[in-house]
Structure 1
């Protein structure tokens, strides 16, 4: 039997964290005297945390703190917010459990820093369900570069063609497509994102979604 895997993006798929990143970004960079606008936050939302810090520093250089320190301030604040706020995506734990019962390996591939991953998995009570986790922190480039997905498939020991990726961002979908994987767009009721690149969509983590994913997996393995 061909081994199959489902690889999850993290922010916006496992946890509704975009608002938390935006809050942390505003708090930390405003404290450094920067005018953090919604327009600029839209530009930074698909970046890695290193790229975000560089973006704001280039826009309005601050004194007395190096980039690494400021980046860690943002990360620490996001971790606090994930722990304290209601940010779980409905049904995702049960969804992952059902995939495991259908003999899928489970992976995680995120542009977020590695140290945030355990906080998210503990929040959802799914730590033991993941067979491999990856952060773009350890790649030369984050999404839309495909490296993180290629390397996650290698960790899982599953061929790229047998990996299904659940993503909510266009850059993430591009990365998965470049890696040669099947792309499932998680819409979560969001009408603003272009999901055309995806092979199919799921609106929420429910039995309809499980049936779509497992049925597609059976078709692809024939």
Structure 2
């Protein structure tokens, strides 16, 4: 298969940031009177920050701050945690270096706000690997809508059929597939055996397991 481009998700795939989002959302939303149950938190896991904030506001409308202010409080908290405690997921550095050496076009498509991308790139020192980045903040809809992937494909000037996407969520896989891109999923460790991830072309336990021979399995 003649691949020449790769697009990565960010949170939970390149950086171990999912616990940061959980901590920030619990702290900020609780401070304005939201009662965060585990079952409802599962529903918000793959949403954009704005979608999450609007979701909780509909259930527990607060008066002391605007929706935008609460959303920004969450992002600020995550940003601080990334800068303080951010660590790459297993295999990230080696895989980026491998694709770079093979002269792949490398892109990023994330539901995270644009300003967090810079913090992750700087913290992990990986910015030099990427030819283009896209945040769902700048497209009409976040994942599972394909818009953020289509944006990155356009910037990379590559065809979807020659690209592969790396994701850690079903919504991300669906976004990539809807854009015509084959998808590799690296599910959270505790959820690896969940059959919902079978929608991906390839499923791995970590990025360390990937090599270009995997593409023949897709």
Q: TM-score range by the shorter chain?
A: over 0.9
Residue in 2 that maps onto 1:149 = 149
For this pair of structures, how many residues does the alignment match?
215
Residue 3 (structure 1) shift: 6.7
Residue in 1 that maps onto 2:92 = 92
Residue in 1 that maps onto 2:211 = 210
**Mapping of 1:166-205 within 5 angstroms?**
166-187=166-187, 189=189, 190-193=191-194, 194-205=196-207
**Mapping of 1:122-161 within 5 angstroms?**
122-161=122-161
Q: Secondary structure at the match of 1:195?
A: helix
Residues in 2 aligned to 1:180 and 1:62: alpha-carbon distance in whole angstroms: 41
Residues in 2 aligned to 1:70 and 1:160: alpha-carbon distance in whole angstroms: 37
Residue in 2 that maps onto 1:164 = 164
Residue 125 (structure 1) shift: 0.8
Q: Secondary structure at the match of 2:14?
A: coil
Runs of 4+ deviating beyond 6 Å: none
TM-score between the two structures when normalised by the length of structure 1: 0.91
Residues in 2 aligned to 1:101 and 1:24: alpha-carbon distance in whole angstroms: 37
Change in 2 beyond 3 A, CA 1:142/1:40:
same
TM-score between the two structures when normalised by the length of structure 2: 0.92
RMSD (CA atoms): 1.8
Tell me, yes or no, if the aligned pair for 2:136 and 2:142 is still in contact at 8 Å.
Answer: yes
Q: Secondary structure at the match of 1:51?
A: helix
Residue 188 (structure 1) shift: 5.3
Tell me, yes or no, if the aligned pair for 1:93 and 1:125 is still in contact at 8 Å.
Answer: no
Q: Secondary structure at the match of 1:173?
A: helix
Q: Secondary structure at the match of 2:34?
A: coil
Q: Secondary structure at the match of 1:112?
A: coil
Residue 186 (structure 1) shift: 1.6
Residues in 2 aligned to 1:158 and 1:67: alpha-carbon distance in whole angstroms: 37
Residue in 1 that maps onto 2:23 = 23
Q: Secondary structure at the match of 1:47?
A: coil
Residues in 2 aligned to 1:212 and 1:199: alpha-carbon distance in whole angstroms: 13
Residues in 1 aligned to 2:157 and 2:99: alpha-carbon distance in whole angstroms: 17
Q: Does 1:74 align with 2:79?
A: no
Residue in 2 that maps onto 1:50 = 50
Runs of 5+ consecutive residues of structure 2 not aligned to the other structure: none
Tell me, yes or no, if the aligned pair for 2:111 and 2:136 is still in contact at 8 Å.
Answer: yes
Residue in 1 that maps onto 2:13 = 13
Runs of 5+ consecutive residues of structure 1 not aligned to the other structure: none
Residue 142 (structure 1) shift: 0.5
Residues 138-158 of structure 1, C-alpha deviations (whole Å, 9 max, x = no match): 111111111111111010000
